Amino acid sequence: MQQSSISQPIPANWVQKKLPLVPTGGVVLDLACGRGRHTRLLLEEGFSVVALDKDVSGLDDIAGSPNLEIVAADLEDGRVFPLKGRQFSGIIVVNYLYRPVFDELVTALAPGGVLIYQTFMQGNEAYGRPRNPDFLLQENELKEVFGAELSVQAFEQGFEERPSPAMIQKICAVKA
């Protein structure tokens, strides 16, 4: 894998901590992958990865890497979920919230697959963006949404000092 000359943000601690729960040998979806900090981590750990985002230009330096499929798709344009019918041994979502894809994520998770999700929650308005309530989880929302169909392995919410002060909610859940 070719290294980027652009400094990459460090993968989220939550993802690094929960990644060992993801079954090996399957494909992991990095949803709303951005510049690919988690895609790169997954590739380094030996996973096959589907990296999906509206703008995938931040992955140009690793395009063509073995075990990497890059999908440019706007999840919010009203079209059918671009990976409909596919299943993943893991799904990682960090700093992205679009509630209409919640059901698609559960469906796309293979039996035994692991969802690792972390994003901003209500109260984050005091610390920065996002401030719009449409992009902030309500208290316990991830647990209530995903706990109905998945087995919750870990759930946390509240203030975090690092990497910058924010109100964060996180879940790690497995499909039976």
**How many other C-beta atoms are found inside a 10 Å radius of the C-beta of residue 127?**
14
Percentage of the chain beyond pLDDT 90 is: 91
Can you tell me the mean pLDDT for 151-160?
Answer: 97
User: What is the identity of the amino acid at 127?
Assistant: Y
143 has a pLDDT exceeding 80: yes
Residues in the chain: 176
d(CA 166, CA 116): 18
Domains and their CATH numbers in the chain? 13-174 (3.40.50.150)
Residue 5 pLDDT level (bands cut at 50, 70, 90): very low
6 has a pLDDT exceeding 90: no
Can you tell me the mean pLDDT for 123-128?
Answer: 93
Residue 8 pLDDT level (bands cut at 50, 70, 90): low
Which pLDDT value is given to residue 162? 85
Is residue 3 within 8 A of residue 40, CB to CB? The reply is no
SS3 state of residue 56: coil
For the segment 29-63, what is each residue's pLDDT rounded down to a tens digit?
Answer: 999 999 999 999 999 999 999 999 999 999 999 99
Structure tokens at 13: 């601690």
Phi, psi of 97 (to 5 degrees): -140, 115
SS3 state of residue 71: strand
pTM of the entire structure? 0.94
> Which stretch of 43-52, 80-89, 127-136 has the lowest confidence by average pLDDT?
127-136
Residue 2 pLDDT level (bands cut at 50, 70, 90): very low
